[in-house]
C-alpha cells in the first residue's frame, strides 16, 4: 500500500474517533446563542469600521434612549439624533456607545450587550 494512502486512512480513522467522542446532541440553550455571563461578549468587535475603539467599560444609569431621526449614508457617514443630540458611530449617549447606524435603526452597545432601537414613523 502506498505511503500517501496509509496516511489518508490514519487521518480518516482519527477523525472518526474524534467524532465518536463528541456528544450526539447539544442542549437547546447552547444552540440558541452565547451567554456572556456578565463578561465582554467576544463576538462584539472592539474597533468600529472606521478604526475607533469602543469603550466597553462605561458605567451609566439605564436612562432610556430616544431615537428621533436618522441621516443615513451608505458610505458609513451616517448620523442619528438621539435624545436631542446628533451622534455618529463611536459616539456615546447616556453610557451607550453607537455601534452601527442603519436606515431604520441604530445599534447601541453597553456592557457588551447590543441593543437595537428602531426609528418610529409618525
What is the tens place of the pLDDT at every residue in 62-75? Answer: 357 889 999 998 88
Host H or E run for residue 11: helix 3-21
pTM for the model stands at 0.50
Residue with cell 482519527: 14
* pLDDT, the chain, mean: 76
Question: d(Cα 37, Cα 75) in Å, to the nearest integer?
Answer: 35
Joined together, the cell numbers standing for residue 40 give: 465582554
Amino acid at each position: 500500500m502506498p505511503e500517501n494512502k496509509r496516511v489518508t486512512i490514519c487521518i480518516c480513522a482519527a477523525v472518526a474517533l474524534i467524532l465518536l467522542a463528541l456528544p450526539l446532541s447539544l442542549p437547546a440553550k447552547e444552540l440558541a446563542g452565547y451567554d456572556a455571563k456578565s463578561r465582554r461578549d467576544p463576538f462584539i468587535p472592539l474597533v468600529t469600521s472606521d478604526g475607533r475603539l469602543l469603550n466597553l467599560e462605561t458605567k451609566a444609569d439605564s436612562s432610556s434612549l430616544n431615537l428621533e431621526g436618522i441621516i443615513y449614508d451608505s458610505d458609513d457617514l451616517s448620523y442619528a439624533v438621539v435624545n436631542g443630540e446628533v451622534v455618529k458611530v463611536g459616539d456615546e449617549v447616556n453610557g451607550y456607545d453607537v455601534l452601527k447606524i442603519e436606515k431604520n435603526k441604530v445599534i447601541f452597545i453597553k456592557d457588551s450587550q447590543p441593543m437595537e432601537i428602531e426609528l418610529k414613523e409618525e
